Amino acid sequence: MPRMTEPRRKRGTERTSNRGPAAIPQLPLRRVTNPYPPMAMLSADQIEAIHQASMHILENFGIEVMSPRALSLFESAGAAVDHASANVRIDRGMIEDVLKTTRSNYTLTPRNPAYTVHLGGNTINFTLVAGPPNVHDMERGRRAGNLRDYSDLVRLAQHFNCIHMLGNQVCAPVELPANSRHLDTYLANLTLTDKSFHVSAIGRGRALDGIEMMAISRGLTLDQMRDDPGITTIISVNSPRRFDEMMAEGLMTMAEFGQSVAVTPFTLMGAMSPVTLAGALAQQNAEALFGVVLTQLVRPGAPVMYGAFTSNVDMKSGAPAFGTPENTKANIASGQLARRYGLPYRTTPGSASNAADAQGAYETLMALWGAVLGHGNLVYHAAGWQEGGLTASFEKFIIDVEMIQHMMEFLRPIEVNEAELAVEALGAVPTGGHFFGEPHTLERYATAFYQPMLSNWQNYEAWQEAGGLDTTARATRLWKKALEDYVEPVMDIAVREALEAYVAKRKEAIGQGEP
């Protein structure tokens, strides 16, 4: 039997069972599927027109790829490459051919197979926010990202079952050296959680470190991982029409080792894209497909997603906006495009609100509905996103988890059968009576309805007596409680030592100038 580390407990509290009476109620771990057909916002003709426009872009305008290795790959595959400008033009025939090797479904398996992420079909996965430089909570205010907050936020993601995987760096731990902090965050991801995560694919080194450390945690070789991926990354396109060297190298490294990539153009309408949705979608489609093609040139069959991030900017200030009506529509239409090519679909709900308040809730929920109606498979940044992605918020995380759970329950179809139709009970209760005491009710009431953790359903007087806390204040209590209840997943001590040794070795190498 392998040696195990003791589960580490926060703040000296006793372990609180997740099922104990004092625990925060939450939905069980569930593979979420959308039983309803995806929303057909665009007609087949409209989809085709957008496809044609994107083919025109790829055939005539091309994409700049700031990577000699990528340029060679494209050239060998028959693309028109201009080395002086690093411009690559690919035609629809090549695209069609190359897309044949993509997969419509695949899985990402972390060290705990219970948290395997299924990408494709009608499965939906919700992930932790990624990338903010700052963190915020109502007690300590706004501050630069740091490893302590980083660790607490991934603990929260571990604690809540509806968070299916982590993103890439829930906040930037800025006190750590920029060129090696990815190692610290990977180690935190792998030890404080046993869920899958997004690696940073800014260059080959960061991607490869993520792949190697996931392989160590699973007890696999890199070769074994190649056919059984465990992680993914987001490749952000430098829209319009540019893949920079670091992103191109990251993409190719992930594909080379059989790990997943979500190619996501940064198409903010009015800034990096046309102000029109059709134009932004055409651009997004061209850029996403170009990145998808590159993954397949590196390794046919490499797991890859169609990523979409199309939203608009505030035309008065140029500031990005999220959860807008335009963003919501883009989330739905992009799903139609992804499905046209048989690719799993990554999408995002967001908000520009500076606070975990009503705007934060309604903007996020607008875009979340778009993600769900568009059959997003990977709903990135689904919990904790604030300030247009500049801050990871503890309270917003809780509000988002509550909204995700609402959506998960919404996605459970209505059952219609004799027992559910309750005709006998309907005849037994007298006119003007009530159903509280009916056997049909008593048999089902404990589990009949979704029980929220954050919503307050007290009457006004009882709510006032209990302090009259608004949603945001209640969210503060909940994340603190969740951190108290958090249990670190058990890890074989040899695995932990191997991971720590890997990090130490790589930090030394990076210190000596290795990438």
Q: Is 163 in the site for its own copies (CB under 8 A)?
A: no
Q: Select from 99, 238, 481, 498 the one that contacts its own copies (CB under 8 A).
A: 238
Q: Is 174 in the site for its own copies (CB under 8 A)?
A: no
Q: Are 385 and 350 in contact (CB under 8 A)?
A: yes
Which pair of structure tokens corresponds to residue 134? 């700052």
Instruction: Supply the minimum distance, in Å, between the C-beta of residue 251 and its own copies.
Output: 17
Instruction: Supply the minimum distance, in Å, between the C-beta of residue 513 and its own copies.
Output: 28
Instruction: Supply the minimum distance, in Å, between the C-beta of residue 53 and its own copies.
Output: 4
Size of the site for its own copies (CB under 8 A): 121
Q: Select from 360, 374, 376, 389 the one that contacts its own copies (CB under 8 A).
A: 360
Q: Is 477 in the site for its own copies (CB under 8 A)?
A: no
Q: Are 373 and 330 in contact (CB under 8 A)?
A: no
Site for its own copies in 376-405 (CB under 8 A): 387, 390-391, 399, 402-403
Instruction: Supply the minimum distance, in Å, between the C-beta of residue 459 and its own copies.
Output: 6
Q: Which is nearer to its own copies, 230 or 250 (CB)?
A: 250
Q: Select from 78, 121, 468, 511 the one that contacts its own copies (CB under 8 A).
A: 468
Instruction: Supply the minimum distance, in Å, between the C-beta of residue 403 and its own copies.
Output: 5
With a CB cutoff of 8 Å and minimum separation 6, the contacts of 243 are: 63, 64, 65, 66, 67, 70, 235, 237, 251, 290, 291, 294
With a CB cutoff of 8 Å and minimum separation 6, the contacts of 368 are: 349, 379, 382, 403, 404, 407
Helix (H, G, I), strand (E, B) or coil at 262: strand
Alpha-carbon torsion angle 491, 493, 498, 500, nearest 10:
80
Q: Which is nearer to its own copies, 117 or 277 (CB)?
A: 277
Angle (CA) 72 78 83, round 5° = 45
Q: Is 27 in the site for its own copies (CB under 8 A)?
A: no
Q: Select from 92, 339, 340, 440 the one that contacts its own copies (CB under 8 A).
A: 440
Q: Which of 131, 55, 119, 128 is nearest to 93 (CA)?
A: 55
Q: Which of 240, 233, 234, 236 is nearest to 87 (CA)?
A: 240
Q: Are 211 and 257 in contact (CB under 8 A)?
A: yes
* 304-307 and 242-243 beta bridge pairing: unpaired
The interface mask with its own copies, positions 240-269, x = CB under 8 A, is xxx--------------------------x
Q: Is 349 in the site for its own copies (CB under 8 A)?
A: no
Q: Which of 136, 200, 128 is nearest to 391 (CA)?
A: 136
Instruction: Supply the minimum distance, in Å, between the C-beta of residue 385 and its own copies.
Output: 14
Which pair of structure tokens corresponds to residue 367? 């875009």
Q: Is 96 in the site for its own copies (CB under 8 A)?
A: no
Q: Which one of the spans 43-51, 76-84, 96-104, 482-490 is the region binding its own copies (CB under 8 A)?
A: 43-51
Site for its own copies in 401-430 (CB under 8 A): 402-403, 406-407, 409-410, 412-417, 419-423, 425-427, 429-430
Q: Is 354 in the site for its own copies (CB under 8 A)?
A: yes
Q: Is 449 in the site for its own copies (CB under 8 A)?
A: yes
Q: Is 353 in the site for its own copies (CB under 8 A)?
A: yes
Q: Is 470 in the site for its own copies (CB under 8 A)?
A: yes
Whole-number Å distance between alpha carbons of 398 and 384? 7
Q: Which is nearer to its own copies, 192 or 366 (CB)?
A: 366
Q: Which one of the spans 163-171, 225-233, 317-325, 506-514 is the region binding its own copies (CB under 8 A)?
A: 317-325
Instruction: Supply the minimum distance, in Å, between the C-beta of residue 23 and its own copies.
Output: 16
Q: Cα(first)–Cα(last) distance of the chain, in Å?
A: 38
Which pair of structure tokens corresponds to residue 2? 């392998």
Q: Are 364 and 381 in contact (CB under 8 A)?
A: no
Q: Which is nearer to its own copies, 251 or 302 (CB)?
A: 251
Q: Which is nearer to its own copies, 31 or 56 (CB)?
A: 56
Q: Select from 26, 87, 123, 347 the one that contacts its own copies (CB under 8 A).
A: 87
Q: Are 132 and 146 in contact (CB under 8 A)?
A: no
Whole-number Å distance between alpha carbons of 32 and 164? 10
How many CB atoms within 10 Å of residue 303?
A: 24
* 304-307 and 268-269 beta bridge pairing: unpaired
Instruction: Supply the minimum distance, in Å, between the C-beta of residue 216 and its own copies.
Output: 37
Site for its own copies in 180-209 (CB under 8 A): none
Q: Which is nearer to its own copies, 108 or 321 (CB)?
A: 321
Whole-number Å distance between alpha carbons of 478 and 489? 21
Q: Select from 4, 456, 493, 511 the one that contacts its own copies (CB under 8 A).
A: 456
Whole-number Å distance between alpha carbons of 55 and 62? 10
Q: Is 289 in the site for its own copies (CB under 8 A)?
A: no
Whole-number Å distance between alpha carbons of 131 and 385? 9
